[in-house]
Structure 1
Amino acid sequence: MRFFGLKTCDTCRKALKSLGEAGITPEVIDVRADGVSAEDRAAMISAFGDKVINRASTTWRGLSEDEKAADPADLIAAHPTLIKRPVIETNGQWFQGWSKSVQTEILG
Structure 2
Amino acid sequence: MRKIYHLKTCSTCQRILKSLPKLETFELQDIKTEPMTVKQLDEMRQLAGSYEALFSRRATLYKEMGLKDEVLTEADFKRYILEHYTFLSRPVIIADGKIFIGNSHKVVQQVIDFLAHE
Please state which band the TM-score falls in when normalised by the shorter chain.
Answer: 0.7 to 0.9
Q: What residue is the counterpart of 2:10 in the other structure?
A: 9
User: Equivalents in 2 of 1:9, 1:23: separation in Å?
Assistant: 21
RMSD of aligned residue pairs (Cα, Å)? 2.1
Provide the rounded CA distance (Å) in 2 between the counterparts of 1:90 and 1:23. 11
The answer to whether structure 1 residue 82 and structure 2 residue 64 are counterparts is: no
Could you list the runs of 5+ residues in structure 2 that have no partner in the other structure? Answer: 114-118
Give a deviation string over 1:55-83, Cα, whole Å, max 9, x none.
12112223255xx6462111111112210
Aligned residue in 1 for 2:23: 24
Q: Distance in 2 between matches of 1:56 and 1:99?
A: 12
1:44 Cα shift? 2.5
Q: What amino acid is the match of 1:24?
A: L
- Report deviation, 1:11: 1.9
How far 1:12 moved relative to its partner?
0.6
Deviates further, 89-98 or 38-47: 38-47
Deviation string, structure 1 residues 70-105 (Cα, Å, up to 9, x no partner):
621111111122101110011121110233433343
